[in-house]
Each structure stands twice: as structure tokens, then as C-alpha cells.
Chains A and B, each alone.
Chain A
Amino acid sequence: MINFAHGEVFMFGAFASFFFARAYAASGFLNSQPIVSLAILFLSAIAVSVGVAVLLERVCYRPLRNAPRLVPLITAIGASLFLQNSAQGFFGSQTRGYPRPSFLEGTVTIGGVSFDKIDPVVIATSIIVMVALDLYVKRTRTGKSMRAVAQDREIASLMGIDVDRVVVVTFVIGGMLAGIAGVLYALMFGQVGATMGFLPGIAAFTAAVLGGIGSIPGAAIGGFILGISESVGPYLLLLGFRVPSPFELRGVITFSILVLVLIFRPGGILGTGEAEKV
């Protein structure tokens, strides 16, 4: 089962924090208390994303746990469209500017290279969260249950693991990460919109396949490789061929990578070499 609606969970988290960010920017609180503001933005995004993710699992996926594989797949696509259209209906279809605290505005130059101040913040936050997730999955009892359920749900159930509870915990963690990612993405690009979750959701799935489904270090490696390929790749590969707007073809690079990984290494870089879960 592929949770295609995860991009929309991410989008709802970003939107939830947007309303706080807009109000705080209007009142001046965003710049007078930036750390407190950011903490509230992250907490609001996490709360909403977790709520949407758990609701998805309870309403859309749990009743179909033993259905043929195609059924939850179609449901996931349906849920994704439902959430996307709901967001368009309730929040409008136009993109909205996402205010940034002033200490994250502008660029910083290190070693002659200037980049946005938000970039290192996004990278550092992501690495910290990924390490925490890896430790959680490897060192805790619930993490061990998650690995057992991912390996073989029926055997895990026979060993006394409450599969439903473990799946809900997985969706809660997924929602938390999506909420954090939503705020970081909105801060990076300075905007939110009802369709903002679709392409990052597909790209993230590509990264998951590239790294290896079920492997957190693989997910991190896949994400970074894909991000760099999407950013550097169009210029590096296409500029020499005199393509007028190489950056517009970044999606071509992403999906070419997906197709090539599925052909040459369906298990991903750190995966098992099996393609069954995909």
C-alpha cells in the first residue's frame, strides 16, 4: 500500500501553521518572539497533520487492511484528491504568501558561496529529526514492533503485537514528520497552496524507492540525492545541449530517476533488493 495522500497531510500541516504565521506577522509577534512563534507554527502543523494522518488511516486504510492491493491504492489516490479539493474549497485555489521571521530573511555567505539563511536551518532540522526517528525505530519497543509489522504483519500478530496500534503509531509519526516538513517547505519557498503537497509527495515517494522502502537512512540518502539531482541535474545535464529553460525540466529528471531505479534496482540503494513492497 502506498500512501499517496501523504503529500496532502503535509499540505494541511503547512496550511495550519500559515494561519498562525499570518496572524503573528500582522501583530508583530513573529519578529518580536521568533523562537516562540516558530515553536507554535511547528506544533500547530504537527497537530493538524497527525489528526489528518490518523483520520486517513482510520477511515480509508484500516477497513481495507485485508483487501486486494489495488483497492487501498485506489483509495489512497481518491483520499489524496478529496483532501486536495477540500483544501481548494475551504482555503481557495490561489497560493498565499507565507511570512518568514526577519532573522531567517536574506542570505548568508560562507566561503564565497551565498545562500538563503533558511537553507541550513532546513537541513539541520531535517537531520536532527531523522536521527531521532532512526533511534526511536531502532531502540524502543514500539520501534521494534514497527519493524516487525513491516517485515511480516501476520507473524507479528501471532507474536502478540497489536498490529492496529502499531500502524496508528506509524501514521502518527508520519503525520508529525509531514507537519515539520510542511512548515520547513513553506518557510523555504515562502508560500502555501492547496496543491503544494502533490509534487513533493510524488518526489518523496521516488526518494523512498531510491533509498529503499522501510529504511530510514535509505530514505535520507534517497531524499538528499533526489533533491540535489532536481536542483543541480537540469543545469548540469541540459545546459550544454542549449535547452532554453533547463530548470523547468526538473520533473523529467525526478521521474526518469524513478523509472531507472525501478528497472535497475527496484529494492533501492539500501533496500533488500526485493520489489514486493513497492
Chain B
Amino acid sequence: MANDVVTPPTGRSLGWAERLPVRKIVLTILTAAIFVVVGGGIYKTLTLPAGERLDWEFWANLFVIGLALGAVYALIDSATAWCTASCA
């Protein structure tokens, strides 16, 4: 209607809060948390008391098993990667 009043934009904003790089802050906190958990976990595992500590043969064995498992994943994922890329 002709008498309707259209409120003009006030130009108000949240100020500094609006300019906060939220994504960057979240990613930084996440990175720090990952470093703390991963680094702390590795440190605590490697400094377990002598009776509970795993010997290097165990770690080497796990590494070889991981390589073999990774080899199978590599075979599957190279195909997945190409099928995905060519059909995308």
C-alpha cells in the first residue's frame, strides 16, 4: 500500500565479531587438539613402564602387516580413484 513505510537499512553490524576468522580459529584449535592427542598418546605409549612396554619386534611386525594391508587398499583405491575421476 502507499502508506507502507519501508525501513531503510541502518548499517548496523556486529563490528569486530563479524570480522572474526571463525574458520581459521576452529582449524587452529583442531590442529592443536590433534597434536596434543597424537603427541601425548605416542609419548605415553613409548614411556610405559618396562613390564607393559611393547618390544620393537612387535612394532616391526605391526608395520609389515600394515604395509600388506595398505598394499591391498592401494590396489582397490587406485581403481576407485580412476573410476571416480573418469565418471565424475
Q: A residues within 8 Å of B by Cβ?
A: 1-3, 6-7, 10, 61, 65, 72, 112-116, 118-120, 122-123, 125-127, 129-130, 133, 137, 146, 149-150, 153, 166-167, 170-171, 173-175, 177-178, 180-181, 184-185, 188, 200-201, 203-205, 207-208, 211-216, 218-220, 222-232, 235-241, 260, 263-264, 276-278
Q: Closest A-chain residue to B43, C-beta based? A: A240
Docked-complex contact A119 and B73, CB < 8 angstroms: no
- Please measure, in the bound complex, the distance between the C-alpha atom of A180 and the C-alpha atom of B71, giving whole angstroms: 11
A118-B79 contact in complex given A1-B84, A220-B74, C-beta closer than 8 Å: no
Within 8 A of A (CB), among B58-87: 59-87
Chain B residues whose C-beta falls within 8 Å of the C-beta of A200 in the assembled complex: 72-73, 76
Q: Closest B-chain residue to A239, C-beta based? A: B45
Docked-complex contact B81 and A2, CB < 8 angstroms: no
Chain A residues whose C-beta falls within 8 Å of the C-beta of B50 in the assembled complex: none
- Please measure, in the bound complex, the distance between the C-alpha atom of A166 and the C-alpha atom of B82, giving whole angstroms: 11
Q: Closest B-chain residue to A216, C-beta based? A: B78
Docked-complex contact A119 and B64, CB < 8 angstroms: yes
- Please measure, in the bound complex, the distance between the C-alpha atom of A112 and the C-alpha atom of B38, giving whole angstroms: 28
Docked-complex contact B85 and A214, CB < 8 angstroms: yes
- Please measure, in the bound complex, the distance between the C-alpha atom of A153 and the C-alpha atom of B34, giving whole angstroms: 39
Q: Could you write out 26 A-B pairs with CB less than 8 Å apart?
A: A6-B80, A72-B87, A119-B64, A126-B75, A130-B74, A130-B75, A150-B86, A174-B79, A174-B80, A174-B83, A177-B75, A188-B69, A207-B73, A208-B78, A213-B84, A214-B82, A220-B78, A223-B78, A224-B73, A226-B70, A227-B73, A231-B65, A235-B45, A235-B59, A239-B44, A264-B31
Chain A residues whose C-beta falls within 8 Å of the C-beta of B80 in the assembled complex: 2-3, 6, 174, 201, 204-205, 208, 219
- Please measure, in the bound complex, the distance between the C-alpha atom of A127 and the C-alpha atom of B62, giving whole angstroms: 19
Docked-complex contact A167 and B41, CB < 8 angstroms: no
Docked-complex contact B76 and A231, CB < 8 angstroms: no
Q: B residues within 8 Å of A by Cβ?
A: 27, 30-31, 34, 37-38, 40-48, 54, 57, 59-88
- How far, in Å, is B59 (CB) from chain A's closest CB? 7
Docked-complex contact A1 and B54, CB < 8 angstroms: no
Docked-complex contact A126 and B72, CB < 8 angstroms: yes
Chain B residues whose C-beta falls within 8 Å of the C-beta of A150 in the assembled complex: 82, 85-86, 88
- Please measure, in the bound complex, the distance between the C-alpha atom of A112 and the C-alpha atom of B83, giving whole angstroms: 42
Docked-complex contact A114 and B61, CB < 8 angstroms: yes
Docked-complex contact B65 and A170, CB < 8 angstroms: no
Docked-complex contact A181 and B86, CB < 8 angstroms: no
Docked-complex contact B75 and A181, CB < 8 angstroms: yes
Chain B residues whose C-beta falls within 8 Å of the C-beta of A235 in the assembled complex: 45, 54, 59, 62
Chain A residues whose C-beta falls within 8 Å of the C-beta of B60 in the assembled complex: 113
Docked-complex contact B41 and A133, CB < 8 angstroms: no
- How far, in Å, is A161 (CB) from chain B's closest CB? 11
Docked-complex contact A113 and B81, CB < 8 angstroms: no
Max count, chain A CB within 10 A of own CB: residue among B73, B84, B87: B73
